[in-house]
Amino acid sequence: MDLRSKLRAIVRPNQPVRELTYEPDTGRYEAGVQPTRVGEILGGRPVSTRFGECLIIDRRYESNRRHGDVLIEDCQVSTADSLKVLDPSLLVDATLRRTVFIDLETTGLSGGAGTVAFLVGCGYFDIGAFQVRQFLLTSMTAERALLEAVSQFLIDDVDADLIVTYNGKTFDVPVMETRWLFHRMEMPLEGVPHFDALHAARRLWRTRAEDPSTSLRTGSSTSPRAADGCRLTTLERALFDVRRIGDVPGLEIPSRFFRFLRSGDPRPLEPVLEHNRLDLVSLAAVTARAARLVDDGAEGCPDCPQALALGRIYERAGSRERAEACYRRASNASDGPTRAESLYRLGLFLRRDKRFVEAAEVWRALVAATEERTVSRTDVGRALKQFAVEALAIHAEHRDHDLSAARELALFALEDAPGGRRADSYRHRLARVERKIAEKQNAQLFWS
C-alpha cells in the first residue's frame, strides 16, 4: 500500500475503530458461559459477591514438593531484613505475617484503561505449603465481581502485610489499580508495602545472565542467552533447573482467553492457569534465593560475579563491611572483566575509608588486570586502566612523595590517553611533577 492509500484509509468516514487491547463487550460471547460449568472443567468453584459470581481455582503445593531442584518449603521468606537490603525503600515490619505473591494474565500489554486482567493469581504460604488461589474472569460483564473477590481475599482472608510481584510496580499493580478506579471501587493494595523482585533479580543476575558461558547454579554451560535477559522463565531455568513442558507462550495467552469467550469452551485456558501457577511458584523461589544470598553474604555466593553484584547491593544499602568482603571475594575471579570491576570498586571503597596504602595495592592489581586481552580491548577496560594509573600517580605524588614514580606514571597515562581534556589533565600533572623535581634538585644543589 502506497502513502496515498494509507492516508485515505486513515481519514475514510464510518471506519470502525479497532480496539488494541481487548475486544469490546457486546454481549455476544458471554451468553453461554456459566461459572459453574467452567469450574467443573477447570477444577474451580464459583463464589458470590455483591456484584455477581466469580470463579476461583485453588491449588496447593506441599512443602516437600520440588520445583526444579528446590523444595517448596525453601521458597519461604519469613523476615523482611534481607528484602530491605535489596530494596532500601521498602517500609515493612521485620517479621512478615503474610506475604502474598501476585501475578496477572491480561488481555494485552499496552496498559491503560483498555487492559483487563482476566486472571489474577495470588500465592501465599500456609503451614509450609504454598497455596495458590486464582480468580478467573468468565465474562467481560463479570469484571466487578472478580475485582470484589480479589479485594475480599486480600483484606479479609489473608490480610497481606507485603505483596511481591515481578515487574509489578510497572505493570501488574497499576493495571489492577486502574481497573478498581475504573469501577469506582476501593483499592485494597493501597498502602500495602510492595517488593518488586525484578529489580533485585536485575541487580544480582542481569550481567550473569548475559554471559552464555556459565550457569547461575553450578558454573556449567547452561546459562540463558543474553536475549532472554531477566525474564522469570529464564531465571527459574538458570537458578533452579525448572523445565516447563508444554508451557503456553505469553503472546498466545490473550488469544486463548478470547477464544474461550467466543466458544464457551474453557479447555484452552488450562495451560494458561498452569503457566500462571508456575510463575507464582518461581516468583517465590527467586525472592527466597535473593534473600538467602543477602543473608549468607560473600561466603554464600556460588561464584565471583554474584559476589560482585551482592557487594554493590550491600554498598547501596550502607552495609560497608559485607560489601568489602564481597568485593574481595570477587577480585579473585578468573574472568578479567569481573576481576577488574571488583578491584575498581574495592579501591574506591578503601580510598573513601582513607586506607590509602591498601587502595594503592588494589590500583596496582587493577592495572595488571586490565592488561588482559579480554579487558584491554574494551572501552571500559581502557577507562579503568587510566583511572588506576592516575590514582597511583596521585598516591605517589601526594602520599608517598615519590616524584620519580609520579613522573613515570604520568608519562604512562599520557601515552594511553585518547586526547582531549583527559590528556590535558595528564600534561598538567606531568608539568607540575617535573617542576617539583626541578625545585627539589635546586634545593639540594643550594644546600650542598
Residues 307-346: b if buried by 16+ CB within 10 A, e if exposed: bbbbbbbbbebebeebbbbbbbbbbebebbbbbbbbbbbb
Flag whether 39 is in a domain.
Answer: yes
Flag whether 115 is in a domain.
Answer: yes
Of 267, 294, 321, the one marking the end of a domain is 294
The C-alpha cell that represents 93 in the structure block: 515490619
pLDDT digits (tens, 9 = 90+) for 32-42: 578 899 999 99
Strand partners, 67: 70
Whether residue 371 sits in one domain with residue 276: no
Flag whether 319 is in a domain.
Answer: no
Least confident of 100-114, 255-269, 390-404, 417-431: 417-431
Confidence of residue 206 (pLDDT cuts 50, 70, 90): confident
pLDDT digits (tens, 9 = 90+) for 406-441: 888 888 877 776 666 667 777 888 888 888 888 877
Whether residue 276 sits in one domain with residue 209: yes
User: Could you tell me the residue range of the domain that residue 55 belongs to?
Assistant: 35-294
Measure the CA–CA gap between 403 and 401, rounded to whole angstroms: 6
Q: Which pLDDT belongs to residue 379?
A: 84
Whether residue 191 sits in one domain with residue 87: yes
Supply the CATH number for residue 214's domain. Answer: 3.30.420.10
Whether residue 280 sits in one domain with residue 143: yes
Strand partners, 48: 53
Q: Which pLDDT belongs to residue 100?
A: 96
Whether residue 338 sits in one domain with residue 286: no
Confidence of residue 11 (pLDDT cuts 50, 70, 90): low
Flag whether 309 is in a domain.
Answer: no
Q: Which pLDDT belongs to residue 9?
A: 66
- Tell me the percentage of the chain whose pLDDT exceeds 90: 60
Q: Which pLDDT belongs to residue 448?
A: 62
Flag whether 313 is in a domain.
Answer: no
Sheet holding 194-196, edge to edge: 45-49, 52-61, 129-136, 117-126, 99-106, 162-165, 194-196
- Residue 9 to residues 15, 23, 329, Cα–Cα distance (Å): 8, 21, 63
Whether residue 66 sits in one domain with residue 207: yes
- Residue 238 to residues 69, 217, 234, 283, 286, Cα–Cα distance (Å): 11, 6, 6, 14, 11
Q: Which pLDDT belongs to residue 55?
A: 96
Whether residue 227 sits in one domain with residue 130: yes
Q: Name the 3-class secondary structure at 19.
A: coil
Of 272, 294, 316, the one marking the end of a domain is 294
pLDDT digits (tens, 9 = 90+) for 307-353: 999 999 999 999 999 999 999 999 999 989 999 999 999 999 999 99
Supply the CATH number for residue 378's domain. Answer: 1.25.40
Of 247, 270, 294, the one marking the end of a domain is 294
Q: Is the pLDDT of residue 158 over 50?
A: yes
Dihedral sign, Cα of residue 237, residue 240, residue 246, residue 252: negative
Mean pLDDT of 230-259: 92
Whether residue 273 sits in one domain with residue 353: no
Whether residue 204 sits in one domain with residue 268: yes
Whether residue 250 sits in one domain with residue 352: no
DSSP string, 78-116: -BSHHHHHH-TT----SB-S-EEEEEEEES-SS-STT--
pTM of full prediction above 0.75: yes
Whether residue 232 sits in one domain with residue 104: yes
Mean pLDDT of the chain: 86
Residue located via cell numbers 577488574: 340
Pair 85, 313: CB distance under 8 Å: yes
Mean pLDDT of 236-255: 92
Flag whether 320 is in a domain.
Answer: no
Whether residue 73 sits in one domain with residue 185: yes
Number of domains observed in the structure of the chain:
2
Flag whether 13 is in a domain.
Answer: no
Dihedral sign, Cα of residue 371, residue 372, residue 376, residue 380: negative
Q: Which pLDDT belongs to residue 6?
A: 67
Flag whether 429 is in a domain.
Answer: yes
The C-alpha cell that represents 151 in the structure block: 479485594
The C-alpha cell that represents 246 in the structure block: 508444554
